[in-house]
Every structure is written in structure tokens, then in C-alpha cells.
Structure 1
Amino acid sequence: MFQNKQYLPIRLFRFFGLADGVSLLILLGIAVPLKYLADLPLAVTYVGSIHGAIFIAYVMSIVIVQVTVGWKIYWSLLGIGAAFIPFANFVLDRAVKKREAAFKTRAFPVLWLVYAIIFFSFMDLFAQLPIMSTFATSLGASTFVAGIAVGMYSFSNTGGNLLAGLLTDRFGPYRLLVIGLTGTSILLGTYSFVDTPEALLIVRFFHGFIGGFIVPAAFTFVANQSKEGRAGSENAITGAFVGAAAIIGPAFSGIMATQTSAPFVLRTVGLFGGFLLLAAFVVLRGQLFNRSTTRPARLPFHPALVGAFGGAFLMMFSQGALAYLLPLRVEELGFSSSVSGTLLSVFGLTAVLIFISPARRLFDQWPALTNFRIGLVLIGAAQFALGMAESLAVFYGILFVYGIGFAFTFPSINVFLYKGTSEGNRGRAYGYFYAFFSLGVVLGSSGLAFISSNLSTLFTVTAVVLTAGAVFSGLLSTTTKERSE
């Protein structure tokens, strides 16, 4: 249906637009009456999950059309507005169909589906941030066990990353992406059956492990397409999708969990993964990049890889600490759980605005090591400030600074990895890279849970670790800068 020239961004938009319109009518016309007239609330629960997943896919299709086709911005605004009005999707579809030729549609670039899969993987991660620790405590877990539950995903994710890195170099990314999407989508649905802290830890372990298959495979393909001298700005585009997940994930999760439940949120994300799995079967199967064209090579020691792996660990140590501490800090100050989601979205929005603006050219013009150190210092300062602040307005300002730091850090560590690898060992390198990502989250969440102290002190500990990393990177400045720029 969507092969080659027939796979047009406009038709992708129309497909998900019609699906969104139908699911909205079913939700409002069937599920809601069943809830209130027949006392069947599960109708809204399940239909709402399906509609939410379709809506996420629909929004992604609008983003793809806006970027690849470049239609007037008001069409995107109409598309988003139509999602909330019954029958409006059908009227809009008719208008778009009449003007399809005028939009000068092009064949759908396969790379954008890989970007969407990266978005899903990080949407899965970021949607967990505002709800997992509080979900664990609602099951009867102590604060200590809640920290373990948050970190368990990333602990097992480390093993999945390492295995996926080895297999990606040998078999290519397609099989790893399919396995990862299938397992993650299914496991996200199993949270609905979790009713004890012990069961939660088991689901978190398997969820993290199978989810670890996705990112190394996807990022290996993207890196192999990068052009020499533009790795920084091109990784900023990838970072924009990660940032988009950081915006949508926490806000969607925090707001929806307040109205429904944590399992509902995770089930909805899983359904979105199911849609991407179907797209992967149709579009990615048989692509040339599915098979390795270079013999797998050993991963040599390279100073740039020290910066990549160390930076990945530090950046995600900060994210793990944020996931564990911020919801508890917000709750401690008397704010609702939805505030955690919107706060976490602020840093993502800030990073995305930098990634898509002309400012991303700085990541090619300035040394990656300079960008890396700027990013770590800003993130460390933000962590320290979070432990001191008590005003909600100040919290938003701090997360803005955190977003700037993230924007400088993410492309720089990807440049380090790009410079320190070749196509024959890049999959393995990304496996280690995201293993350090996961290890950072584990120690940033579960590791801090072992320290018996107040929240302000734990934020300070996080800031000290990040600042120390920025200082230590100076010891590698000569070799890393010479060999990674």
C-alpha cells in the first residue's frame, strides 16, 4: 500500500486522520454512553487507549508532512484542531484529497520512520518519569522500593542494549527493531495486570530488556547516513525527536494519569508502538540497510569513545535523578502529579527549539568537547537549584536552563561516538553507548535511593557528580579534541 512512490506523507496523514476521526466517534458515540448508561467504564478505558495511541500517530504524521512536504502551517493547525471535533477529520480529509497534487508530495523518506521509532522508544521512557515512582507507592511499595522500580527498567535495558549492539553489526537493524517493537508494545500492556510491588519489578525487568533492542539499531542506521562535518547538526535532528518525546511523554503521562491511571497511559503508548511495528513491516522490510554491508569489526579504544560513553552515563544519571526526585519534590511541596509532567516537558521543549533552530549549526562550528562541558555545567547547576527552589515559577525557569544543557550535551556525545567508530563496529558502539545511558539512569534513581537523606541533599549530590564530570573531561581535552573534531 505504501511502497516506494505510493508511500506519500499526505496519504500517511490522511490514513491516521480518518482513523482518528473514526476512533473519536466510537469513543463519544459508543464508549461514553456505555459508561454512563450501562455502567461499563471499561468501554471508555479501552477505547480511550486506542484513540490516544491513534492520536499520537496522527500528530506524528502531521509533523512528518510539515517537514517533508512543507505545506502552509495553517494546514497543520487545522489538522490538530480537527482531532477534537467530531466529523471534522472527514471534512478535512476531503479538502486535502482535492489539493493533494498541489502539495507536491514526495516519496516518504525511510529515515523518518526510523526517527518515529526513536521517538516511540524515548516516548516510552519519558512517559514513565512522572508516574512510575508514585505508581509503585500506590501498590504499597516503600520509597526505597519505588526507586528500585524506576531504575529496574534501565538496569535490564543495559543488557538489551549490549546484546542489540552485537546483533546489529551482524544482522542489521531491521530484525532488532521488529523484536524490540513487538516485545515493548506487548509488555506495556501488561502493566494493567500488575497489583503488587513484586509483580511491578518483574514487568519492569522484561520491559527494559526488550526495549533495549530498539535504540542501538535505530541510531546505528541514522549515524551511518550522517555526512562528514555535519554529524553535530544532523544528530541535533535526532535529538529533536528525543526532545519531542520529552515534551509529549511527561505531559501526556502526568495529565492522563491524573484522569485515568498509570497502566492506561502505558497501554496507550504500547498501542502506538504497535502501529509503528506494522509500518516497519511494510516500509523497512527489504531495505538495503537491513543487512550489514561491512564485516563486524572489533571496537578499539579511542579517546572520543571515552567522551561518548562517559557523557552518556552522566547525562542519563541526571535524567534518572530527575525521574526519581522531581515527582517526590513536587509532591513534597504540595503540588499535583500533573505538575511533574509539565515541568519535565519544559526542558524537552527548550531542547527541541534549539535543535530545530539555526542555533544547531553551533554543534558543527564549536568543538564537541566545548559543547559537552557547557552542557554538563548547565545541567549540574539546574540540579542544584531544584533542591533549593520552592516557587513553581522558579522551577519552570530551572527546567528551561536544564533544557539548554541537554541541547548542548546530546549532539556532542553523538559526535564523539561517530568520530570514534566505523560502519563495521558502530552498532556495537551504540550498544555500549546506550548501556551507559541505562547504567546512568539506574545509579541516578535506584543508586540515590540507597542514600538516606532529604531530597535537597540528593539533588546536590547529583549536581556534584555532573560538575566533577565536566572538570574531569578537561583531562581528556587534548587527545579527545584532536581526534574527535
Structure 2
Amino acid sequence: MREATTDKLHIFIVMFFVSLIMSIQSPIFTPYAAKIGASSVLIGIMLSVASLANLTGNLIAGPLVDRFGKKLFIMLPLFVSGTLFIAHALVSDAASLLILRTLNGFSLAFLIPAALALLSGYAANSQQQGKNMAVNGILGTIASIIAPLIGGQLGALIGYANTYYVIGLALILTALYTAYLLKEREVIVKKRRTSRPVNFIQLLTMPNLYIVFITGFAMMYIHGVIIYEVPYLTVEKGLSTATTGQLFSFMGIGTFLSLSLFFINRFNPINRLIFGLFGMCMSIFALFNALLSLSLALFLLGFFFGIMMPAMATAVTDAVPSEGHGRAFGIMSAVYSFGMIISSFVTGIIRDVVSPYFVAFSIGMLVLTVVGYTWFRGLQSARDDGY
């Protein structure tokens, strides 16, 4: 028991540092790309292509994680990504940055499904699963609060290129920590003889997972618009990277607050997803219509984002047997990447014509309508069958 707790602690530490290090670049990538000659459209393409590479890697990662284990696919991506981030500091043109961003997106695609699948082995029921995912989310959120401030200050003090050196070396050190201290989790629960590996087609056609996946897409579309638009304030309004880092921290504080409410894990994860998506839609609607200040709107977006993230992972593990967790989390990560691809690409193209916030609100409400109708119709059918 004590050994299992120690092993789980190592996973949390690794995930915290990965979130911290990766989030450092959030306030500096857009101005860095603009500095070396990338237009707003090209920056959108960079983010989209990186997410497309990430999506491709997610789909490849799922079966490999289930077959060959989790630790390997946590350690190697960290080494590769650290090297690629160091290379970011050496580029002199936008084309090279695009290539590095794409390769980095593909390498990191293996990390999240492997880490979530490994963490899912430390829960005996849905409530423990929700708590583990919430703790992981809290640590990631603390990182997301601190990291933009660090990234913004580093960008202002030592420059964008030197900041990428720091990011790369930190990831390589985290990879070394993983290699020496992280252990593969052995599943204690015996598999039934009748159980069969769950394939992608079965996962995609499960009713509950269908709801989870399209909700995840809408969530990440809205999130992607924020990730694109807020750093672009440094280009359009001449704000410092330190200021945009502070704005991201407001979003992180909201996420931290909602993740700290552990009693929420007692509620049905699908209901939490519907509530969280509705809150994100209303928050971005208020942002679009200037009903709230930017900092308060970002705080609320972060709050509802924090409600959705653990619910998403819990809904997946509730619906899928343990031998299919790698594939399921791979698809979930691919859906996240797809949401980022579409949002980054569309935002880069339309931002001078239509408000990206309005488009994000429209997509969120459309998905919310479909999900709400499907879910509540299913509940009504279940009640009717009970009679």
C-alpha cells in the first residue's frame, strides 16, 4: 500500500513538472513566432499543424501503450521534446519553427495517454478515479498559474530564445527523473477470460463515450481560442509577455478553485460535463459582449474548464474496461488535439472578419444542444424501460 502511494506520488510529480515546463511557453510562442516573421495566419497554421501531428500520435499511442506499457511512452517523449525545444531557440525563420512545432506535437502525443492510463491503475472505483484525476488537475493547474508568470518574466528578462533553452533542459531533467523513479503499474484485478481487447470502432460507438468526445471537442475549441487570442495581445496592443502571463494565471486560478471542490466528484460525470460546457459558453459570451472584464471572464472560463477535465477522464474510465484505457485516453487526447486544430486554424483565418469568441460560443452551444438532447433522451428511455 505504501509502495503504491509512493509510485503514485512519482506520477503526480512528473505530471506537475511536465505541465509547469510546457506552460512556460504559452505567453512567448506567439510573439516569438511573430518576431521571426510569421503572420497571424501562419501562427494559426503552426498551432493547427502541431495539433494535427499530436492527434495522429494520440491514435498511434493508444494501442502501443496498452501493449508495451506506459513508462516507456512517458520517458522517451520527454527526452525527444526537450531536444526539440532546445532546437526552437536556434531557428531563424518561420518555416523551421513550423517543422519543429510539428515534430514536437507528434512526440508529446504519446505522453498524456500513457500517463493517464498509468494513473488510472491506482483507483478501485469511480470516486477514487475522480479524486486522482482531480488531484492531477490541481497540480497541473498550480503549474498553469505559476508557469505563465515564469514564462512571461523569462521572456522579458532573458529573451525568447534563451527561454526555450531553459524549457528544453528542464524537460530532459524530468525525463531522467522518470527513467529512474517512475515504475510501471501492475494491474491487480484479474481479467476475465471472456474479456476482449476493446478496439477503436467499439470505443467510438459507445453512447456515453460519444457524448464525452464531442463535449471534449467543444471544450478544447473554446480553450484553443483563448490560447491563441490572449498571447496575441502582445502583438496587437503592445502588452508585455509578463502581462499576458498574468492573464493566463487568472484562468489557472479559476481552474484550481473548481478542482479543489472534491465533493463535485460525487455527481455523475456526464452532468458535470454539461454544466461545465454551459458555463464556458456563457463566459465566452460575456467576453464577446464585453459584459465582464478580460481577467474575470478568463477566471470563469478556467473555473468551468476545471469542472470538466476530471469529469472527462472519469467518464472514460467508467465506460471502458482497464485493458482498453490506453486506447480510450488516446482517442480522448486526439479529440482534444482536433479541437485545438480547428480552433487555431479557424481563428487565424477569421479573426480579422468575425470575432473568434462568437464562433467559439456558437460551436459550444451547438454541441451543448446535441449532448443535452441525447443524454436526457437516454435518461427518459431508461425510466420508461424501468416502468
Indicate whether the TM-score tops 0.5: yes
Partner of 1:197 in structure 2?
Answer: 94
Q: CA deviation at 1:214?
A: 0.6
In the alignment, is the contact (CA less than 8 A) between 2:8 and 2:122 conserved in 1? Answer: no
Q: CA deviation at 1:280?
A: 1.7
Relative to structure 1, the CA distance from residue 234 to residue 119 in structure 2 (aligned partners, 3 Å threshold; closer, same or farther) is same
C-alpha separation in 2, matches of 1:218 and 1:321: 26
Partner residue of 1:417 out of 311, 316, 325: 316
Relative to structure 1, the CA distance from residue 292 to residue 210 in structure 2 (aligned partners, 3 Å threshold; closer, same or farther) is farther
Partner residue of 1:360 out of 255, 262, 265: 262
Partner residue of 1:433 out of 332, 339, 344: 332
Q: Deviations over 1:43-95 (max 9, x none)?
A: xxxxxxxxxxxxxxxxxxxxxxxxxxxxxxxxxxxxxxxxxxxxxxxxxxxxx
Q: CA deviation at 1:253?
A: 1.3
Q: How many residues align?
A: 374
C-alpha separation in 2, matches of 1:329 and 1:464: 23
Moved more, 321-330 or 130-139: 321-330
Q: Deviations over 1:316-370 (max 9, x none)?
A: 11221111112224653453232111111111122113323xx221221x22222
Relative to structure 1, the CA distance from residue 397 to residue 271 in structure 2 (aligned partners, 3 Å threshold; closer, same or farther) is same
Partner residue of 2:240 out of 336, 352, 366: 336
Partner residue of 1:312 out of 212, 216, 237: 216
Which one has a bigger Cα radius of gyration?
Answer: 1
In the alignment, is the contact (CA less than 8 A) between 2:259 and 2:307 conserved in 1? Answer: no
C-alpha separation in 1, matches of 2:153 and 2:228: 18
Q: Deviations over 1:402-426 (max 9, x none)?
A: 1211121112211221111111111
Identical aligned residues as a percent = 24
Q: What TM-score does the superposition give when structure 2 sets the normalisation length?
A: 0.88
Partner of 1:211 in structure 2?
Answer: 108
C-alpha separation in 2, matches of 1:417 and 1:246: 24
SS of corresponding position for 2:276: helix
C-alpha separation in 1, matches of 2:376 and 2:286: 32
Relative to structure 1, the CA distance from residue 266 to residue 388 in structure 2 (aligned partners, 3 Å threshold; closer, same or farther) is farther
Partner of 1:60 in structure 2?
Answer: none
Partner of 1:42 in structure 2?
Answer: none
Code of the residue aligned with 2:328 in structure 1: it is A
Partner of 2:72 in structure 1?
Answer: 175
User: Are residue 386 (structure 1) and residue 287 (structure 2) matched?
Assistant: yes
C-alpha separation in 1, matches of 2:160 and 2:12: 26
Code of the residue aligned with 2:212 in structure 1: it is A
SS of corresponding position for 1:307: helix
Partner of 1:258 in structure 2?
Answer: 156
In the alignment, is the contact (CA less than 8 A) between 1:417 and 1:429 conserved in 2? Answer: yes
Relative to structure 1, the CA distance from residue 266 to residue 292 in structure 2 (aligned partners, 3 Å threshold; closer, same or farther) is farther
Moved more, 159-168 or 116-125: 116-125
Code of the residue aligned with 2:147 in structure 1: it is G
In the alignment, is the contact (CA less than 8 A) between 2:256 and 2:303 conserved in 1? Answer: no
Partner of 2:271 in structure 1?
Answer: 370
In the alignment, is the contact (CA less than 8 A) between 2:254 and 2:299 conserved in 1? Answer: yes
Partner of 2:207 in structure 1?
Answer: 303
Q: Name stretches of at least 5 consecutive residues in structure 2 with no aligned partner.
A: 382-387
Partner of 1:114 in structure 2?
Answer: 11
Q: Deviations over 1:376-406 (max 9, x none)?
A: 1221222233334398xx2211111112111
Q: CA deviation at 1:165?
A: 1.0
Partner of 2:143 in structure 1?
Answer: 245
- Root-mean-square deviation (Å): 2.8
In the alignment, is the contact (CA less than 8 A) between 1:307 and 1:480 conserved in 2? Answer: no
Partner of 2:356 in structure 1?
Answer: 458
User: Are residue 136 (structure 1) and residue 38 (structure 2) matched?
Assistant: no
In the alignment, is the contact (CA less than 8 A) between 1:174 and 1:284 conserved in 2? Answer: yes
What is the correspondence of 1:276-295 to structure 2 with a 5 Å cutoff?
Answer: 276-285=174-183, 287-289=184-186
Q: CA deviation at 1:125?
A: 4.2
Partner residue of 1:475 out of 369, 373, 378: 373
Code of the residue aligned with 2:268 in structure 1: it is P
In the alignment, is the contact (CA less than 8 A) between 1:188 and 1:270 conserved in 2? Answer: yes
In the alignment, is the contact (CA less than 8 A) between 1:320 and 1:445 conserved in 2? Answer: yes
Code of the residue aligned with 1:170 in structure 2: it is R
SS of corresponding position for 1:173: coil
C-alpha separation in 2, matches of 1:315 and 1:480: 22
Q: What TM-score does the superposition give when structure 1 sets the normalisation length?
A: 0.71
**Taking CA–CA contacts closer than 8 Å with sequence separation of 6 or more, which of the two structures ends up with the larger relative contact order?**
2
Q: Deviations over 1:114-135 (max 9, x none)?
A: 1233234433543332222211
Code of the residue aligned with 1:453 in structure 2: it is D
Code of the residue aligned with 1:283 in structure 2: it is L
C-alpha separation in 2, matches of 1:117 and 1:338: 26
User: Are residue 405 (structure 1) and residue 304 (structure 2) matched?
Assistant: yes
In the alignment, is the contact (CA less than 8 A) between 2:225 and 2:343 conserved in 1? Answer: yes
Moved more, 437-446 or 298-307: 298-307
C-alpha separation in 1, matches of 2:337 and 2:23: 13
Partner of 1:77 in structure 2?
Answer: none
Q: Deviations over 1:441-461 (max 9, x none)?
A: 111112222225357x11111
Code of the residue aligned with 1:367 in structure 2: it is N
C-alpha separation in 1, matches of 2:11 and 2:291: 40
User: Are residue 166 (structure 1) and residue 68 (structure 2) matched?
Assistant: no
What is the correspondence of 1:51-70 to structure 2 with a 5 Å cutoff?
Answer: none
Code of the residue aligned with 2:241 in structure 1: it is S
Code of the residue aligned with 1:145 in structure 2: it is L
Relative to structure 1, the CA distance from residue 222 to residue 245 in structure 2 (aligned partners, 3 Å threshold; closer, same or farther) is same
Code of the residue aligned with 1:251 in structure 2: it is L
In the alignment, is the contact (CA less than 8 A) between 2:57 and 2:110 conserved in 1? Answer: yes
Partner of 1:271 in structure 2?
Answer: 169
What is the correspondence of 1:3-152 to structure 2 with a 5 Å cutoff?
Answer: 109-152=6-49
Partner residue of 2:342 out of 428, 436, 443: 443
C-alpha separation in 2, matches of 1:111 and 1:143: 42
